[in-house]
Copies of this chain bind each other. A is one copy, B any other.
Amino acid sequence: MTVAPPQTSSPPLRIGDVARIVGTTPRTIRYYEEIGLLPDTQATRPPGQHRLYSEAEIERLREIIRLKRLTGVTLDELKTLIEAEEARATIRRELDDTEDPGRRRELLKRAVGHLDRQLELVDRRARELAGLQEELQARRRRVLTRLRELDKASV
């Protein structure tokens, strides 16, 4: 019973390529696996063998790293946020399987909740950054004004 849908899956990549693609280092990827932020490859892989990553795993890792970089959450907080992401993946698979509309509705609502939690973090950061940005721009304008006044005076 091979029911996998026909998909053009590109070949899995090794840790070095993945690191370059998502903008990090192999060590970081291994560390995330070590603390349980990424699925444990040790279980599915003979010790000493290379780690391999699918397109989907790479995409997921990219999101994790982006969220960390841009919001500054700790890896522990990120883990709770990502367990939500993880839940989303599970939800998707279950969604494809289930026909029960009630169940589908519940799963989708949970997905919205997870996204809302991430958006809340990102929105707050965006507001803080905008505040700093405006302040720096205001200072810049004031200095430029003084420069122009200097020009006028010297004529």
Residues in chain B near residue A70, CB distance under 8 A = 125, 128-129, 132
Bound-complex Cα distance A70 to B150 (A): 34
Are A137's CB and B119's CB within 8 A?
Answer: yes
Task: Evaluate contact between B123 and A126: CB separation under 8 angstroms.
Answer: no
**Known contacts A70-B128, A115-B136, A133-B123, A109 near B147 by CB under 8 Å:** yes
State the CA gap A35–B141 with chains docked (Å): 32
How many protomers of this protein does the assembly include?
2
Residues of B within 8 A of A116 (CB): 140
Task: Indicate if the CB atoms of A115 and B140 lie closer than 8 Å.
Answer: yes
Report the stretch among A10-18, A25-33, A100-108 that lies at the interface: A100-108
Give 30 pairs: A residue, B residue, CB < 8 Å, sorted on A: A66-B128, A66-B132, A69-B128, A70-B128, A70-B129, A70-B132, A72-B72, A101-B153, A101-B154, A104-B150, A105-B147, A108-B146, A109-B147, A112-B140, A112-B143, A112-B144, A115-B140, A116-B140, A118-B136, A119-B133, A119-B136, A119-B137, A122-B129, A122-B132, A122-B133, A123-B133, A126-B126, A126-B129, A126-B133, A129-B129
